Amino acid sequence: MDSTPVALRFTLPELTQLLQSKEEKPDTSALFQIIEETRSSRYDSVCIPLTNDKWRQRWHEMCIVEDETKPRDPSAEQKAELWRSGVVAFKREEVIPTTLDEATSIIGLASDWIYLDSPDEWVRHDSELALLQELAYANYLSISNVILPPPRNREHVASYARAVNAALGSLGYTSKTQLSIRLPVYYPSVAPKISSETVSVVPPSEKDIGTSWEIWDSIRSICDSNPRLSISLDLTPPLPPSATLLQRWFGEPLRHVFLPAASFIPNAKGYPVLTKATQSFIRDVVKLRPTIILSQVSAKVHTAGGSSSYLQYVRHLEKTSPAIVAQETEGTVENFSKGWHDWLQAPLQPLQDNLGSLTYDIFERCPAKYDQYEKAVCLALLDRPPNKPINIYVVGAGRGPLVDCSFRALERSGRKASIFAVEKNPSAFVTLQERNQTSWSSQVRLIYGDMRKMPLPPDNEKADIIVSELLGSFGDNELSPECLDGVMRILKPNGTSIPVSYTAFLAPLSSSKLFHEVRSRDQALKDAETPYVVSLQAVNILSGSGNESRSSTQCGPKIQECWDFIHPRKDAILDLQGFPITNSHNNRSVKLKFHIPTAGTLHGFAGYFEAVLYGDIGLSIHPDRMHNISPNMTSWFPLFFPLKDALYLPENSELHVSIWRLSDKQRVWYEWHAENFLPVSVTAPEPRSPPRTASPPPAPRHGATLRPTTPGATISPLLDALSPLVPPGSPSPPPGGRGGGRSLPQIGTGLTKSATTLVKIGQTNLHNPGGRSSWYGL
């Protein structure tokens, strides 16, 4: 197991003292000795400032006007101008590391007096030059991580971020140096009271915590999500009791976590431990493998345990992290997913492409899934009258795992049945023939061909049970609806499809990592039109449960149902051969409303599915239900629907997501779009005169829109446009299957009169494959 890296941080005074205590040797500098000693105490690296007080003093003398009322010393200004012009370099005694050997294990801290968001334009200007100079030096030494001082001024965060962006641009493409923004886990809205020994801090409000993230989001956005930019989260301020407020950091590029000794509390015996909230956060965050930066371990902040106890405690938390434990346990989804986290894969198109044996092999390695199939077939068999002949068709049999399931189900149920296996992949059909001879005693009737085109069997050979495994991560995305539609011709009138139905689910997510992965692809714009199969890890689901919403309209739960498909269709209009005339009935659309409790950046949507195989036997990758419905099933990672551009979602906003499943004769594809709203209180009622004297007449059954224009009327024929608009938030038809019944609209009765209105504040692009390649071929 790769363990979480841990670094030890030395402050400038600590380091100065230590350096003085060492003897310089010809081959081993004092600093290198300190680094070696630290590493031999099992730290992975050392976090130190790049420069010292001499540099601070020189910069200060040049660039800071001590007293504005006195005339400026022209020689200081002259010195500053010469420095700005680039003709003055660092002096040897102003910097701390100087050799490549030292630099290898260093996390560098840029000078903490660099004040990129000062209200003073000159201080900003000269801070930026100082930063560039320090970074150029770090880059020269190949120091791979430099941590920048935290932003301090919300008003000038754009200036801070612009300077960071310039710094990133100054590094050059071949540089190994990455920048990390030091960010307190929250900014207190009131100043802490500082006495000589202790700090008393007011517990943070939700807003304080949000501000920290909001500042980061501005910086990230201005730096165009530069992959070389990360966060160093500073846990110096005590964590709030509710760790859910920290979820947002899991979608962000978290590279370092500052954990000074002072943020540990003593346990009963005086040993340093962390508060419950911090324990829980650390246990969670280790799965993202940030470097934990300890500090002041030798400052005797705690009476027991000594300097090594902090590191030991962190290692203990890591070992008892549920995420890490699950990853280390054979047979779990977490164990299976190791190495696949946040890796984008194009979804399979088993209908269009014939799969290789290796792909089938991976599928078949999930015993949990086939256990469910076995149970489902067994239940379906038991629901059939005994002593009647039963035909089981395995359609899309592949290399035969569902044939195996069917045999096991027959044995388990004590029933008898004929088994047929249909497969269109000519190569897999060879395997089926071999298995029929070797494993199935030639009892299986093998049928070669596309299930949608197979010849109609005689009535007594029609199917009682059709078993298929055509589901994708979003249920229908591998075209199960279309394939099963095509094979329903061979099902007996009271026959059963396994699966009986499946449902697609969606949730909005934030993930810097996935956003960057999509954008860094060769054809970034095109590639943002395709959903991907991904094991979601560095991801934050942005939606809350709808009932937290303070707004007037009704939001649904955190993860919402899009639509479902049921087999066989009840309302099928078929041609003479039993085929659907069009695929219109497999088109779907839904509009979902998510409540966003805390601010976040929308990067896309997570797609999940849940299927009813038969009775109460199901398959699920819905995060909240998978462990109950189909535990340890590893066959599917979620689907990720990306966005081309990130969308900022403020706290307490409402995200209205439209997603469509569309098709034509050759293809099936998805389109998606979102609008974002914020409930805003209307303090004064809107003036409206004259008052409405009577209710409008009820709209005719089929609405004005389908009425022919009245001949000879003197009112404008465009008067339809005067019908009150159906406002957002009006009830939608419930999601689900498309029934045969459809009717014309009931026009809404007008806008809500509540004191809160939903104000639109943003939207995404429409994501659609256009005429391009990101659809699924029929």
Interaction pattern, residues 276-315, with a copy of itself; x per rule: CB under 8 A: -------------------xx--x-x--------------
For the bound state, the minimum distance from the C-beta of residue 221 to a copy of itself, rounded and expressed in Å, comes to 6
Which residues in the 27-66 window bind a copy of itself by CB under 8 A?
Answer: 53, 56, 60, 64-66
Distance CA 4, CA 10 (A): 20
Candidate list 478, 482, 517, 675, residue with the active-site label: 478
The only residue of 42, 72, 91, 627 in contact with a copy of itself, by rule CB under 8 A: 72
Answer yes or no whether residue 169 interacts with a copy of itself by CB under 8 A: yes
For the bound state, the minimum distance from the C-beta of residue 735 to a copy of itself, rounded and expressed in Å, comes to 10
Distance CA 179, CA 110 (A): 10
Distance CA 490, CA 486 (A): 9
Which residues in the 137-156 window bind a copy of itself by CB under 8 A?
Answer: 149-156
HEC assignment per residue over 215-258:
HHHHHHHHCCCCCCEEEEEECCCCCCCCHHHHHHHHHCCEEEEE
Interaction pattern, residues 93-132, with a copy of itself; x per rule: CB under 8 A: -------------------xx-x--xxxxxxxx-------
For the bound state, the minimum distance from the C-beta of residue 553 to a copy of itself, rounded and expressed in Å, comes to 10
Answer yes or no whether residue 265 interacts with a copy of itself by CB under 8 A: no
Q: Which residue has the tokens 């998606």?
A: 672
Distance CA 617, CA 635 (A): 16
268-292 exposure pattern, b = at least 16 Cβ within 10 A, e = fewer: eeebbbbeebbbbbbbbbbbbebbb
How big is the chain by its Cα radius of gyration, in Å? 32
The only residue of 556, 557, 615, 762 in contact with a copy of itself, by rule CB under 8 A: 762
- Element at 763 (helix H, strand E): strand 756-763
Smaller CB separation from a copy of itself, 348 or 766: 766
Distance CA 751, CA 753 (A): 6
For a copy of itself, which stretch binds (CB under 8 A), given 76-84, 89-97, 399-407, 436-444? 76-84
Q: Pick the closest to residue 609 from 623, 617, 596, 620 (CA basis).
A: 620
Q: Which residue has the tokens 């003398």?
A: 61
Candidate list 94, 469, 561, 654, residue with the active-site label: 469
Answer yes or no whether residue 689 interacts with a copy of itself by CB under 8 A: yes
For the bound state, the minimum distance from the C-beta of residue 466 to a copy of itself, rounded and expressed in Å, comes to 24
Helix (H, G, I), strand (E, B) or coil at 482: helix
For the bound state, the minimum distance from the C-beta of residue 532 to a copy of itself, rounded and expressed in Å, comes to 22
469 is a catalytic site residue: yes
Count of CB atoms within 10 A of residue 427's CB?
A: 13
Q: Pick the closest to residue 297 from 266, 260, 324 (CA basis).
A: 260
Distance CA 189, CA 203 (A): 10
Angle, CA of 351, 356 and 362, to the nearest 5°: 100
Which residues in the 695-754 window bind a copy of itself by CB under 8 A?
Answer: 696-697, 702-703, 705-706, 708-712, 714-730, 732-733, 738, 740-747, 750-751
For the bound state, the minimum distance from the C-beta of residue 625 to a copy of itself, rounded and expressed in Å, comes to 27
Answer yes or no whether residue 487 interacts with a copy of itself by CB under 8 A: no
Answer yes or no whether residue 488 interacts with a copy of itself by CB under 8 A: no
Interaction pattern, residues 659-678, with a copy of itself; x per rule: CB under 8 A: -x----x-----x-x-xx-x
Residue 143 gets which letter from DSSP? -
Answer yes or no whether residue 685 interacts with a copy of itself by CB under 8 A: no
Residue 398 gets which letter from DSSP? T
Instruction: State residue 569 phi and psi, 5-degree precision.
Output: -60, 145
For the bound state, the minimum distance from the C-beta of residue 662 to a copy of itself, rounded and expressed in Å, comes to 8
The only residue of 104, 556, 768, 778 in contact with a copy of itself, by rule CB under 8 A: 768
The only residue of 144, 335, 554, 765 in contact with a copy of itself, by rule CB under 8 A: 765
Write out the two tokens for 356. 């290789």
Smaller CB separation from a copy of itself, 276 or 753: 753
Strand partners, 233: 183, 257
Answer yes or no whether residue 182 interacts with a copy of itself by CB under 8 A: yes
Answer yes or no whether residue 489 interacts with a copy of itself by CB under 8 A: no
Is 450 assigned to a binding site? yes
Chain-centroid distance of CA 8 in Å reads 31
For a copy of itself, which stretch binds (CB under 8 A), given 181-189, 283-291, 362-370, 422-430? 181-189
Distance CA 529, CA 772 (A): 9
* Count, residues in the chain: 778
Answer yes or no whether residue 385 interacts with a copy of itself by CB under 8 A: no
562-572 exposure pattern, b = at least 16 Cβ within 10 A, e = fewer: bbbbbbbbeee
For the bound state, the minimum distance from the C-beta of residue 759 to a copy of itself, rounded and expressed in Å, comes to 5
Smaller CB separation from a copy of itself, 111 or 413: 111
Write out the two tokens for 497. 């499809």
Which residues in the 511-550 window bind a copy of itself by CB under 8 A?
Answer: none
Interaction pattern, residues 568-587, with a copy of itself; x per rule: CB under 8 A: -----x------xxx-x--x
Answer yes or no whether residue 214 interacts with a copy of itself by CB under 8 A: yes
Q: Which residue has the tokens 């014939």?
A: 354
Instruction: State residue 220 phi and psi, 5-degree precision.
Output: -60, -45
Distance CA 272, CA 265 (A): 5
Is 370 assigned to a binding site? yes
Distance CA 406, CA 498 (A): 11
Is 451 assigned to a binding site? yes
For a copy of itself, which stretch binds (CB under 8 A), given 77-85, 96-104, 488-496, 506-514? 77-85
Answer yes or no whether residue 686 interacts with a copy of itself by CB under 8 A: yes
The only residue of 88, 136, 243, 262 in contact with a copy of itself, by rule CB under 8 A: 262
**Where would I find the beta strands (DSSP E) of 306-417?**
391-395
**Where would I find the beta strands (DSSP E) of 490-575?**
491-498, 501-510, 532-533, 540-541, 560-566
The only residue of 89, 202, 265, 430 in contact with a copy of itself, by rule CB under 8 A: 202
Which residues in the 216-255 window bind a copy of itself by CB under 8 A?
Answer: 218, 221-224, 234, 236-237
For the bound state, the minimum distance from the C-beta of residue 155 to a copy of itself, rounded and expressed in Å, comes to 5
Residues 6+ apart with CB under 8 A from 478: 347, 348, 349, 350, 351, 470, 471, 472, 776
The only residue of 90, 340, 343, 648 in contact with a copy of itself, by rule CB under 8 A: 648
Answer yes or no whether residue 430 interacts with a copy of itself by CB under 8 A: no
The only residue of 201, 243, 277, 566 in contact with a copy of itself, by rule CB under 8 A: 201
Is 62 assigned to a binding site? no
Q: Are the beta carbons of 327 and 334 closer than 8 angstroms?
A: yes
For the bound state, the minimum distance from the C-beta of residue 57 to a copy of itself, rounded and expressed in Å, comes to 9
Distance CA 226, CA 249 (A): 17
For the bound state, the minimum distance from the C-beta of residue 638 to a copy of itself, rounded and expressed in Å, comes to 24
Separation in Å, CA 186 to CA 206, 207, 245, 651: 9, 9, 11, 16
461 is a catalytic site residue: no
The only residue of 28, 205, 335, 439 in contact with a copy of itself, by rule CB under 8 A: 205
Catalytic residues: 469, 478
List residues forming the annotated binding site for S-adenosyl-L-methionine. Answer: 360, 369-370, 423, 450-451
List residues forming the annotated binding site. Answer: 360, 369-370, 423, 450-451
